[in-house]
Amino acid sequence: MNLKVCWMYHDIMDLYGDKGNMMVLKKRCLDRGIDFTLDTCGIGQERDLSDYDLIFLGGGADKEQISLIPDLLARKENIKKAMDENTFILLICGGYQLFGQYYIAADGQKIEGLKFYDYYTDTGAQKSRCIGNIVIDANLDGIQTKIVGFENHGGQTLNVSKPLGKVLYGCGNSFDSGFEGFYDGKILGTYLHGPLLPKNPVVADFVIYKALKKRNPNLKFEDLKPLDSGFESKARQTLFDRFHIEN
């Protein structure tokens, strides 16, 4: 098997170590004997996104998001084609926001999104931010897991119909929502940086599984060869203990 990934706007949307997500996917694929191909897609670069098993778009500041919007919107039909052909999409922070209706930047500027989903992102009152460690309880197609990470966002994402998980510690989509991220089977969007996948091997393997299903529709999650995640488990347990959360 081969996992083919396109990392969009890798040169400007790489906030808080999002590169680590790609490093983890590559390592966990190669450890299973799964070939891993990583391509990047910058502004103005030609790519047929439907040719990939996974599309990744990370986080960036307002300036970076504004700079890529014309290019991103020009790719809307191609992204829709990829989604229709079962390309899985992983979105972190700014990437997550841009698949919604719009995002209001800290200076009040309205950044139009791809409008694939009804959620939208307003700016925090008096430029307040959600900052700190976060733990959520998520159900990924029947796989129950706690997801840990770090959030740092002024944007408050509202009208989220299908959240990724319930907040156990931290803020989430907005200060008082009680829920974090978005997951509908096609995309997984979240504010969890840190980066996300090194801290959450189950999520990393789930992303691999969802991406591989594009060309291997009969694949089951349990078909993935188990890997030793002892180091990650110890790191996660430290956080659970700190926040008095049962694993």
Burial 163-183 (b: 16+ CB within 10 A, else e): bbbebbbbbbbbeebebbbbb
Residues written for the chain: 247
> Active-site residue among 41, 93, 130, 171?
93
Measured in Å, how far apart are the chain's first and last C-alpha atoms?
33
User: Which stretches of the chain are assigned E, i.e. beta strand?
Assistant: 2-8, 35-41, 54-57, 88-92, 102-104, 110-112, 120-123, 130-140, 143-153, 155-158, 165-169, 179-180, 182-183, 187-190
- Cα separation, 55 vs 128, in Å, equals 31
Please give the biggest Cα pair distance in the chain.
50
Task: Residue 21: name the closest of 192, 152, 165 by CA.
Answer: 192
3-state secondary structure of 35: strand
**171: annotated active-site residue:** no
193 as an active site residue: the answer is yes
Phi and psi at residue 168, in whole multiples of 5°?
Answer: -100, -30
Q: Which of 10, 130, 171, 193 does the annotation list as catalytic?
A: 193
Which residues have a catalytic role annotated?
Answer: 93, 193
